[in-house]
A and B are shown apart, each in its own frame.
Chain A
Amino acid sequence: MIKEKKTIMRKIILFLLIAGLILNLVGCTQEAVVAGENEDLLETNWESILEEAEGTEVNFYGWGGSQMTNDWLDNFLALRLKEEYNITLNRVPMDIDQVLNKLLGENQMNVTGTADVIWINGENFSTARTNDLLYGPFTHKLPNFNQYIDVESVEVKYDFGFPVEGYEAPYGKAQFVLVYDEARVEQVPKGHEELMELVKNNAGKFTYPAPPDFTGSAFIRNIIYDIVGYEQFITMKADKEVIAKAIQPAMDYLNELKPYLWRNGETYPSTIAQLHNMYADHEVFMTMNYNSNEAAARIQTGEFPRTTNTFVFENGTIGNTHFLAIPDNAPNKAGALAVIDFILSVEAQASKYNPDNWGDLPVLDNARLSDSERAIFDEIQIGKGALPQHILLDHRVPEMPANFVPIIEEIWMENIL
């Protein structure tokens, strides 16, 4: 009798517990914090933005796979921001596609996020813009942007052909370079023909990462440019047939090259990291990079042999700009503005350009710098294995529109792989 009562009690308690749990989950639709309460921030003047930014914490989300880049942010930028504005910079190593996933989720719920500044460019920027994830236009608010940046330059106005419209500020410039070992490559090829000759004479010593690897894809675009020129792509329609026809000579070239590649071109390294390691291990005699100074950095860290050097094709190599943006749901927009403005200062850009720190190309317009400011950049000793800025800029051709990239990768897979 008593026992029966006890089991009934137990069942009731169990039921109540489960009901409570379910109700809890359903009922707990906490008031979502609506983002964008400081929409008028862009209306106020710069001094009050700085005042608001003072003493705050700024979360910087970006790729964290390079020690040099990480150290520059942790050791230079974070320290200087603390001194200048008492801002605490919090670096979060997160790939941009993961950041975008997170922002998309948060956007769906309309809540304030955690990222204040994000490191972005190209396809990801166009994704973020078309989904309305970014705050802005904000660049016209930044004093350093107005003073030092050439707003009419194609590289500032367009990011992989997508109009920037003030929703991201330039951070640094990258340019595609080929990296070789002086001890093993006798004659540096000036263009695609000489490259073909070199590879044919040294079968198995060269290869490139298979797209969709970012750098491998850039190598293919570079070969296309070198063979058929880049001008026609600016106005071309993003149509697979049109593009396929235009780049056919380049595909023929890559097919001719294929049997002389590493492992007879039957397989390709899947990432640039793999190719770099193959180069470091002397398996191939050339690698490539979309960051023109990374090879110098890797000589410094000891990963690459000291006889490493870089070169560009005579007809130029592709360059792009990487940018900084502010998510629409950033918790500290004033702080983000202050940080981005500081990154555009001569001091920060020069420090970033120094290969001892990072070696990223500056985005400031040379014509807008005073003589003393220009001297700061000229004094920086670029490391062994890097090309001086003027050589790179003289051999720089613009990126294709972002939506061409997946089409070309598809054509490559159908024709070459």
Chain B
Amino acid sequence: MGEYKMNKRNRTLSGFIMHIMIFLLILPLLVLVVWSFSKSWPWPNIFPQEFGLRGILHVLDPSSRALKSLLLSIRLSLVVTIVTLILSIPAAKTLGVYSFKGKQFIKMLVLAPIIVPPVAVGMGIHLTFIRLGLANRFIGVVLVHLIPCLPYGIRILTDVFEIIGESMEQQARVLGANSIQTFTNITLPLIAPGLISAGSLVFIVSFSQYFLTFLIGGGRIITFPMMMFPYIQSGDRMMASAYSMVFILATLVVLIMMEKAIKSYYSTKNYFYL
């Protein structure tokens, strides 16, 4: 009985903390939504004095090309996500399952692009890409997005491979499956949850890239953040909020769709290690 009571109190306390946390996370987003519809919001009013649709109408107006760049951004980041995952799986398996000399060093090295700021290498990459004919092109931007994205993809999947190990794959091989069958029937379903989290993070990292897209895309590839940042910089809060709101919504929708797609493909019943 006493234990039950204790449990209940604990639960109300943790529930309370959880609600506060959610509130703290949601509140700034709410402010963003309010700002994207308010003309002015001077201190000390708790609520804005005047509302308007200027921001959201501008984003939706075809002549502003905001939606066009949003679609381009989504396409670009999806391609980057897929390429990153394809490159990450073998690398992550090697780092997670096998042991070899210098493994720790390579694990560190994988994180290098996050540690070294892109500005430091950006100009050099730009020159090289001009020479290779990759600058100002979609493929060039995809390649340059791989730099900040790969560390996340590889690190998350490495942890997944460390957990699942190689025993299930070996079992499949013993039972006569070839390497492709093993990969599609055993490895992929096993790492599917890892793919979802790695894919989500990589998508977000690619979707919010600004500087590298700018430099390599050279104004030919105009992504959504490139339309959004000038407004944030110039202090037009209504416009900046409207763009940010669309930015967040688009990310959410894509991520939810991505998760649904992967989950429905590899039905969840086999997650024995979770």
Contacts and interface: CB of A to CB of B under 8 A. Distances in A.
Interface of A: 25, 28-30, 32, 59, 61, 63-67, 70-71, 74-75, 78, 92-95, 98, 101-102, 105-106, 108-109, 111, 113-115, 271-274, 276-277, 280-283, 301-305
Contacts of A301: 39, 52, 54, 238
Given A59-B219, A305-B40, A105 B127 contact: yes
B236 A65 contact: yes
Interface in B15-42: 39-42
B194 to A, nearest CB: 26
A9 to B, nearest CB: 15
B130 interface: yes
Interface stretch (B103-111, B180-188, B223-231): B223-231
A71 B238 CA distance: 16
Given A93-B222, A105-B123, 9 more contacts: A30-B132, A74-B65, A92-B219, A102-B218, A114-B218, A271-B235, A283-B43, A302-B52, A305-B40
Contact of A67 (B40, B58, B220, B226): B58
Contact of B234 (A32, A71, A106, A273): A273
A115 B219 contact: yes
B47 to A, nearest CB: 14
B130 A303 contact: no
Contact of A109 (B43, B130, B234, B236): B130
B179 to A, nearest CB: 13
Interface string B35-61: 000011111000000101010001000
A25 B129 CA distance: 10
Nearest to B43: A281
A67 B131 contact: no
B270 interface: no
A277 B230 CA distance: 16
A229 to B, nearest CB: 33
Contacts of A25: 132
Contacts of A272: 235
Contacts of A59: 219
B39 A276 contact: no
A244 B226 CA distance: 41
A162 to B, nearest CB: 25
B133 interface: yes
Contacts of B93: none
B237 A277 contact: yes
Contacts of A109: 127, 130-131
Interface of B: 39-43, 50, 52, 54, 58, 63-65, 123, 126-127, 130-133, 136, 214-215, 218-220, 222, 226-227, 230-231, 233-239
A161 B136 CA distance: 35
B64 A65 contact: no
Contact of B40 (A64, A93, A95, A302): A302
B205 to A, nearest CB: 21
Contact of A30 (B39, B42, B133): B133
A98 B123 CA distance: 11
Contacts of A98: 214-215
B41 A93 contact: no
A67 B239 contact: yes
B246 to A, nearest CB: 15
A32 B219 contact: no
Contacts of B133: 28, 30
B123 A282 contact: no
Contacts of B41: 281
Given A65-B230, A65-B236, A105 B130 contact: yes
Q: Which of B52, B127, B236 has the most CB of A within 10 A?
A: B236
Contacts of B50: 302
A183 B63 CA distance: 38
Contacts of A78: 63
Contacts of B237: 277, 303
A65 B234 contact: yes
What 10 A-B pairs have minimum CB-CB distances, sorted nearest first?
A273-B235, A302-B39, A65-B234, A92-B219, A64-B230, A65-B230, A282-B42, A30-B133, A281-B42, A109-B130
A29 B39 contact: no
B226 to A, nearest CB: 6
Nearest to B235: A273
A95 to B, nearest CB: 8
B39 A303 contact: yes
Contacts of B63: 71, 74-75, 78
8 contacts: A28-B132, A67-B58, A75-B63, A101-B215, A109-B130, A280-B40, A301-B39, A303-B40
Contact of A114 (B219, B226, B235, B239): B219
B219 A61 contact: yes
Nearest to B239: A67
A308 to B, nearest CB: 11
A71 B123 CA distance: 32
Contacts of A61: 219
Q: Which of B42, B64, B215, B219 has the most CB of A within 10 A?
A: B219
A32 B131 contact: yes
Contacts of A271: 235
Contacts of A28: 131-133
Contacts of B131: 28-30, 32, 109
A69 to B, nearest CB: 10
A101 B124 CA distance: 12
